[in-house]
Structure 1
Amino acid sequence: MAPTPSIPKAAFWMALSIASFLGMTVAGRATTAELNVFQVLELRSVIGFFILLPLVMMSGGFQAMRTQRPVAHIARNVIHYTGQAAWLYALTLIPLAVLISIEFTTPIWTAILAVIFLGERLNRPKLAAIALGLIGVVIIVRPGVGSVDPGHLVVLGAAACFGISVVTVK
């Protein structure tokens, strides 16, 4: 029997994740002013490890995290880490609002990659959403106004890496 969904619980976790992402964004902006991107990622990894360690230990320890596909997990993590590095680097190059707007292309990349690698089908509503999303990116980036800012390309690469990471989970 499936558990009964809890709207308040879901809302709490969504709010907590948004607050976490906001905190990470503010901390990323502040720390990249003093440290390079790889130092910030290392710091984030160490802090994250110690935050998650009690949860891992309560869930059966590292043995419970064993996998039958370690190469796939390592590849996905390398791709995601590359996306995080690109995202942090873009944070030093372009305004935060532009970065977040372009980062919202992750679902577009995910949908396109799911068609290519997972054989998923695109229906009209999905195609319309992808088209509108791409039009939005073009409006934000405004490639005809001047040269495209390298930060725009870096965050597009980060979003693509995040999309690849999502698809590889499936």
Structure 2
Amino acid sequence: MSTTPSKPMAALWMAGWLSLMLVMAVAGREATRELNVFELMEVRSLLGFLLLYPLIHRSGGFSALGTSRLPQHIARNLIHYGAQLGWFFALTLIPIGQVVAIEFTMPIWTAILAASFLGEHLTLGKLTAIVLGIIGVAIIVRPATGEINPGQLIALGAAVGFGVSMALVKSLTRTESALAIIFWMLVVQSTAGLLPTLYTWTWPSAYGWGLMVVIAICGTYSHYCLANAMRYADATVVVPMDFLRVPLTATAGWLLYAERLDAFTVLGAGLILTGNLLNLKASEAAASRSALKRPADQPVKL
């Protein structure tokens, strides 16, 4: 089904994405005050099945979700599970704005891995994003000072894990539907987290249950908003809107937790986001040149 391009509609869907991601970051910070991360992740995955079931039913039931690439699903989702654990744990150690700033290095690791294992080319735009991203991380973490916060390293490890996961998703999308990828993500992650959750389980309060429901809803439907934004506008329009997550989460951290971002974090985040933006612009220009070189369609032979 084709969709008429509309930047206002894309912006509206991105507002939903940004709002849900912001709420999830704050709810994650609050939930980890009471609950361990394994428990939080397990309940989120189980609730995800309930949220996903209407889409599964509409697509023809579970028979449409069979796969011949189960080992790839398992590998991808174990890595993604570890990255999510790290992301939620980092929220308890460093300002939420800093977690999100470091998270935006994910495209760097995705580009490197896609070039190494999927045969994609490292263009000038991608190389620029990689260089600026690495410099940005170095400015935020500042290893030369000898005062590296473990939370920064955990957030960086989570970003690398998300990058590996994204590269594996790009491979899976060649044969698997988006619904199947999400379904097997829930299966693998709920299975992986079952024993640690049972071992560390503490019964949540009503407030804790409410936070986990909020996290599950935000984590599921935020991606629905993002997918719809992509239907109404190109990535070069949509992705820069996502950069607003850095100042928005930093503002939320300041208002709710009196967290302040230092000048180094602001500068590092700026370099990371600039690199991503330049890569998007370069990719758009390359796509335009490719379209201009494409020969005109041949007349249909009857």
The two structures have a TM-score, normalised by structure 1, of 0.91
Q: In the alignment, which residue of structure 1 is the partner of 2:92?
A: 92
Q: In the alignment, which residue of structure 2 is the partner of 1:107?
A: 107
Please report how far the alpha carbon of residue 84 of structure 1 lies from its aligned counterpart in structure 2 after TM superposition: 0.4
State the alpha-carbon separation in 1 of the partners of residues 76 and 128 from structure 2. 29
Superposed CA deviations along residues 10-30 of structure 1, whole A, max 9, x for unmatched, are 434333222222222111111
Superposed CA deviations along residues 121-160 of structure 1, whole A, max 9, x for unmatched, are 1122221121111111111112222321111111111111
Which stretch shows the higher mean deviation, 26-35 or 14-23? 14-23
SS in 2 for 1:144: helix
State the alpha-carbon separation in 1 of the partners of residues 117 and 4 from structure 2. 31
State the alpha-carbon separation in 2 of the partners of residues 118 and 5 from structure 1. 32
Q: Which amino acid aligns with 2:2?
A: P
- Computing the radius of gyration from Cα coordinates, the structure with the larger value is 2
Q: In the alignment, which residue of structure 1 is the partner of 2:285?
A: none
Superposed CA deviations along residues 53-100 of structure 1, whole A, max 9, x for unmatched, are 112111212111111211211211111111101111111111111111
State the alpha-carbon separation in 1 of the partners of residues 51 and 9 from structure 2. 21
* CA shift in 2, pair 1:61/1:16, >3 Å: farther
SS in 2 for 1:147: coil
Query: Are 2:154 and 1:154 equivalent residues in the alignment?
Result: yes
State the alpha-carbon separation in 2 of the partners of residues 16 and 64 from structure 1. 29
Which stretch shows the higher mean deviation, 23-32 or 49-58? 49-58
The two structures have a TM-score, normalised by structure 2, of 0.53
SS in 2 for 1:32: helix
Q: In the alignment, which residue of structure 2 is the partner of 1:3?
A: 2
The CA RMSD over aligned residues, in Å, is: 1.7
State the alpha-carbon separation in 1 of the partners of residues 64 and 20 from structure 2. 26
Please report how far the alpha carbon of residue 5 of structure 1 lies from its aligned counterpart in structure 2 after TM superposition: 4.3
SS in 1 for 2:23: helix
SS in 2 for 1:76: helix
Identify which of structures 1 and 2 has the higher relative contact order when contacts are C-alpha pairs closer than 8 Å and 6+ apart. 2
Q: Which amino acid aligns with 2:30?
A: A
Matches within 5 A, 1:108-123: 108-123=108-123
Query: 5+ residue gaps in structure 1?
Result: none
Superposed CA deviations along residues 95-131 of structure 1, whole A, max 9, x for unmatched, are 1111111111100110111111112211222211211
Query: Between the two proteins, what is the percent identity of the paired residues?
Result: 55
Query: Are 2:58 and 1:23 equivalent residues in the alignment?
Result: no
State the alpha-carbon separation in 1 of the partners of residues 152 and 92 from structure 2. 11
Please report how far the alpha carbon of residue 9 of structure 1 lies from its aligned counterpart in structure 2 after TM superposition: 4.5
Matches within 5 A, 1:1-170: 3-7=2-6, 8-169=8-169, 170=171
Q: In the alignment, which residue of structure 1 is the partner of 2:222?
A: none
SS in 1 for 2:145: coil
SS in 2 for 1:33: helix
Q: Which amino acid aligns with 1:24?
A: M
State the alpha-carbon separation in 2 of the partners of residues 68 and 15 from structure 1. 37
SS in 1 for 2:143: coil
State the alpha-carbon separation in 2 of the partners of residues 125 and 54 from structure 1. 40
